């Protein structure tokens, strides 16, 4: 049994699955919705990369500069383009894999082993797999933010416990917050 018997993944179908997943489950606080669009013509690809990535990033960076903020989108787009260039070779060629060893292994496995070690990719539903992958990247980002927040609080707590000056700064900041809240609460109840 060769690779023709196994479920093949077409780049176009993967592209459609990813685009539909992010359309139905958008990212929170995203600048734009992710859109996978692979093209075979390098000139068309360069045109759409410029129109859909570089120009919006330049415009947003100009807006950030005008508002006195640090520009960041061109740096992000440059990193994105570097990652895309790494993947370009793999996404622009067809790949045929020899699966003889996998087929031989599956034929030698018993029924119990097949249940425990399910290595038959013919049972894989690629649309569902791609959707789970995209949703997992959203959850991973939330986990990363949570971990970073907990890490900062933990390090800050250790720092406060060891330094009297840090403890005084912490109490000062907390008291300022409480004073601001109490002033805000008192001013919101006043009638003019």
| Residue 154 belongs to a domain | no
pLDDT value for 155: 74
| Residue 127 belongs to a domain | yes
List, for the chain, all residue ranges whose pLDDT scores fall below the cut of 50: 1-5, 192
Residue among 138, 152, 146, 143 nearest 29 (CA): 138
C-beta neighbour count of 187 within 10 angstroms: 8
What contacts 5, CB < 8 A, 6 or more positions away? 99, 103, 122
| Residue 73 belongs to a domain | yes
Chain-centroid distance of CA 31 in Å reads: 13
The number of folded domains in the chain is: 1
pLDDT value for 178: 82
Range of the domain at 129: 3-145
| Residue 103 belongs to a domain | yes
pLDDT tens by residue, 153-177: 777 777 666 777 777 887 888 788 7
| Residue 111 belongs to a domain | yes
Euclidean distance between CA atoms 147 and 176, whole angstroms = 27
pLDDT value for 18: 79
pLDDT value for 14: 74
pLDDT value for 3: 43
Residue among 124, 119, 86 nearest 105 (CA): 119
Residues 61 and 77 sit within 8 Å (Cβ to Cβ): no
| Residue 109 belongs to a domain | yes
| Residue 74 belongs to a domain | yes
Euclidean distance between CA atoms 96 and 27, whole angstroms = 34
| Residue 152 belongs to a domain | no
């Amino acid at each position: 049994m060769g690779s023709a018997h196994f479920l093949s993944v077409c780049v176009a179908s993967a592209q459609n699955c990813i685009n539909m997943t992010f359309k139905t489950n958008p990212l929170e606080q995203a600048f734009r919705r992710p859109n996978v669009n692979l093209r075979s013509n390098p000139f068309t690809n360069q045109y759409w990369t410029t129109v859909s990535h570089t120009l919006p990033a330049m415009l947003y960076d100009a807006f950030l500069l005008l508002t006195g903020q640090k520009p960041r989108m061109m740096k992000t787009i440059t990193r994105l383009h570097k990652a895309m260039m790494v993947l370009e070779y793999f996404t622009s060629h067809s790949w045929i894999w020899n699966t003889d060893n996998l087929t031989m292994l599956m034929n030698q496995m018993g029924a119990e082993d097949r249940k425990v070690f399910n290595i038959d990719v013919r049972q894989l539903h690629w649309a569902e797999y791609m959707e789970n992958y995209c949703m997992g990247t959203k959850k991973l980002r939330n986990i990363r933010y949570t971990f970073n927040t907990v890490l900062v609080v933990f390090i800050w707590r250790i720092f406060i416990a060891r330094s009297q000056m840090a403890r005084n700064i912490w109490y000062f900041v907390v008291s300022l917050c409480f004073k601001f809240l109490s002033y805000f609460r008192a001013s919101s109840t006043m009638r003019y």
